């Protein structure tokens, strides 16, 4: 059996995903980071962006994450997000409408959230 790490992706309002993985890629304030079993302990601030989780079964889970923290120690990775949605939960048409509205209102934060949601769906 390949080495694994336990992953918990939690949003402020719910547990989004939990399971075993071989690789997690997330965006932090220091840049993109990949975490595999045995990685050095870390604590970082998450930037808005897609998080990709390669599951132990060989599948891929993609989530749109908007801010929060990432923590890794003892092969346990915690992603504590302000907002997080799995790619297959995202309504693409709604995200596209939100992007257009944000652009017309010059709302940079809303535009970024909509773009991240659409990138997560595309990566899925």
pLDDT band at 124 (very low <50, low <70, confident <90, very high): confident
Read off φ and ψ for residue 30, nearest 5 degrees: -95, -5
pLDDT band at 95 (very low <50, low <70, confident <90, very high): very high
pLDDT surpasses 90 at 3? no
**pLDDT > 90 fraction of the chain, expressed in percent and rounded:** 94
98 Cβ contact partners less than 8 Å away, ≥ 6 residues apart: 110, 113, 114, 117
**What is the residue-averaged pLDDT of the chain?**
94
Strands 76-86 and 5-11: parallel
Q: What pLDDT was estimated at residue 17?
A: 98
| H or E element, residue 60 | strand 60-73
Q: What is the pLDDT of residues 26-58, one digit of tens each?
A: 999 999 999 999 999 999 999 999 999 999 999
Read off φ and ψ for residue 27, nearest 5 degrees: -100, 125
Q: What sections of 14-124 are H helices per DSSP?
A: 92-104, 108-123
pTM value is 0.90
Give exposure, 91-101, as e/b (b: 16+ Cβ within 10 Å). Answer: eeeebeebbee
Radius of gyration of the CA atoms of the chain, in A: 15
Q: What is the pLDDT of residues 58-83, one digit of tens each?
A: 999 999 999 999 999 999 999 999 99
Maximum distance among all Cα pairs of the chain, rounded to whole angstroms: 51
């Amino acid at each position: 059996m390949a080495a694994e790490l336990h992953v918990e992706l939690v949003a402020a309002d719910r547990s989004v995903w939990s399971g075993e993985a071989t690789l997690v890629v997330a965006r932090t304030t220091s840049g993109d980071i990949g975490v595999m079993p045995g990685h050095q302990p870390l604590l970082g601030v998450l930037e808005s962006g897609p998080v990709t989780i390669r599951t132990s079964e060989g599948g891929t889970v993609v989530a749109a994450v908007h801010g929060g923290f990432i923590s890794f120690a003892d092969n346990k990775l915690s992603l504590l997000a302000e907002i997080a949605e799995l790619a297959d939960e995202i309504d693409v048409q709604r995200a596209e409408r939100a992007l257009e509205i944000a652009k017309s209102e010059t709302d940079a934060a809303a535009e970024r959230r909509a773009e991240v949601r659409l990138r997560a769906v595309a990566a899925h």
